[in-house]
Structure 1
Amino acid sequence: MKAAPLRTDQSPVDQESPESTQNQNDTTTVEYPDGGTKAWTAVFGCFCAFFGALSMMNSIGVYQNWLSTHQLEEYSSGSVGWIFGLYNFLSFFTGILIGPLFDAKGPKPLSISGSVLLLLTYVLLGWCSKYWHFMLCFGILGSFSTCLLFTAAMGTVQHWFLKRRGLATGLAICGGSVGGITTPLVLSALLPKIGFSWAMRALALLMVPFVACAILLMRGRHQDISTMPKSILPDITVLWEPRKAVLTVGALFVELGLFIPMTYVASFATNHDMSSEAAYRTVTLMNVGSLIGRWLPGWLGDKLGRFNMLNIALALCIASIFGIWLPPTGASTAGLTAFAVIFGVGSGSGISLLPVCIGQLCETENYGKTFTAVYSVASIGSLIGVPLGGQILEVAKGNYMGLIIFSGAAYVVAFGSLTIVRIMSAGSKGSTKF
């Protein structure tokens, strides 16, 4: 496939009426408002959808720490990790079925079904007590609800923005960070007082206004006869283009490295004699850093290049893992706090910029199937990362050094892969905007 030229952004920024602009991989003309009431209202709807979709994912460390010491205390760390590994995997892998549906029908059917399943997940979690209960409810039902909302929200932003796509995507996906900040605080306050069952029901009530706003405000712009795909079946062939293939490898290793710190930072804290409240607070701090990382690099990426900023974000993750978490200082309260915030900034940037970079390599009307094809492969990293981390802990008899090195090494491979994509697209000159 012929490499595409760099995109030229010609969209207006502050007016309601859209201007035509040509997508970098297509010869057709696509209009992007890139601002205005309808566009920013849609972004707020996506923010609410991400709050619902990613609150659970960004709080996995709290759930892992609680279940390992309560309902599932008789199971090993590796066994408990498979629940969250399956959840992470299916949250992205099932998108290969949902992405083409988004391209054809828009976000509405996805947001409605995802919202219903999300609320059902929290309610049913309150009744879970056995391993297979959590595997079915958290691992399967929860992941499917996450994927529906995540795919709908991510695709919707791409329909409304081009020139300011990085900023808009970052602001929308901040909803996941806000959810990741809120949920650990709610759980740390409620779990000791009212128990797990009622805490889950309280979270279900918390989600209601957010998913309602998501359903009402998210809307797509390219669901018409001229742009509707011929089939809503999955299409993995979009990854045959060399740049997309290498980007997919990078995405896989981002997911492989990401969920290990997110999942095990709370148990790492308690293992080093910190209280449960301090451990949950570490998860919250990681999401505070992520909140900054999801919008600021997106804004800078629109100005300096999205791939450029993504590589900087991955380098920050590598530096925080090997420079703070791995040395002895990482076991102190101050050191772990610094790691949580800095890693949160870097990983949050990766989460928000990677989907934008995918959009930079494909047509907007095919974004859904391209994004979900990439993440269906990347989800393998989500599947094996957490349980592999648990197995490493068991082999090391509770020593976290191997787990930390494994996570950092995954980010090194991701950094190398995304650097190759950038060089393939824009050359080796670092100052080139891409």
Structure 2
Amino acid sequence: MANRLNWIQEELDTLQQAGLYNRIRTIGSPQGAWLVVDGKKSLNFCSNNYLGFANHPRLLKAAQEAINRYGIGPAAVRSIAGTMEVHLELERRMAAFKKVDAAITFQSGFCANLAVIPALVGKEDVIFSDELNHASIIDGARLSGAKIIRFAHADPASLEQVIKEAAGTYRRALIVTDGVFSMDGDVAPLDKIYAIAENYDILLMVDDAHGEGVLGTGGRGIVDHFHLHGKVDIEVGTMSKAFGVMGGVVAGKPVIVDWLRQRGRPFLFSSAVTPPDAAACIAALDVLEESTELVDRLWDNARYFKAEMKNLGFDTGVSTTPITPIMLGEALLAQQFSRSLFENGVFAMALGFPTVPKGKARIRVMISAAHSRDDLDKGLEIFRKVGRELGVIQ
């Protein structure tokens, strides 16, 4: 048996030599501006906890109350005996928050994409997909069996060109794009993409995982940001980032939501979101609907940090959101930079291939409303120190 597994060790050795082996650190505290990482207190520049909800007292209280009322797990898939009142309440609230007619929840944003794409298109169809779309979109598209045609990143002209070239070769079509691209922090030109979808009568889907709680009025997302309510057919999201919990959502027209209840495979074949998760998500909506304070603080922190990093001489790429990539190029340099940051008290992981293209390795800093100005200044000082030691900045 050992001989049959030799190739795996060889591949692992190759990853280590190339600086692409992912050494996973362990968290020993609640999420927040500071974490205990591998036993060491560290400034957290890694988590997707945009609004500080992962340890918010109102979310904790809601989850605890849900446990007392419903127990821990649903013990069934939604279509048999797993649909609880709290699930339906969350779906009503998410639809209202997103200003759509209906919503359906899944176990994660990844599961939401695996559910919706194969339910809408198949082997006779085509998917027009942004070349930098998230892995869950790519996997959902592959599972559908539809022909996948990529268009140049965030390029409406490229999208229109590939649509014209594919004319007459398919039964149905679907345009899919991320809203905020998680590695680069840029925003899809959804208004222009919508105009093309409307002109060619093609279904339009956006994955707003990094836009919820970040873009739009009070964090309502990219559709709100572009004032496209009622125009985007499918809006996919996650409750694991700005919402600080777990779960996925598909929001849009009632006929699509009803179809997913019948044919969304993660809905039909995997147990439902736990009641405490669903209740915590409702509490997050309560906070977001009461005030824009946390969203405003997130953006204030992001603008400050990004401007100061640029002043220090770092390349922050094309980001226009709180996602702040520190572009370093080579994976070995990015890993050394991450290790040096950690030694100095900052937790910020290196990202390399296949998460990002070869030659575009980076440190991705995730700014949060939970960070104080002092936290950001401490992080900036450590980035300055490490950047100079490694010759990245002068």
- Do these two structures clear the TM 0.5 threshold for a shared fold by scoring above it? no
The structure whose residues are more often strand, as a share, is 2
Instruction: Return the TM-score normalized by structure 2.
Output: 0.31
Instruction: Return the TM-score normalized by structure 1.
Output: 0.29
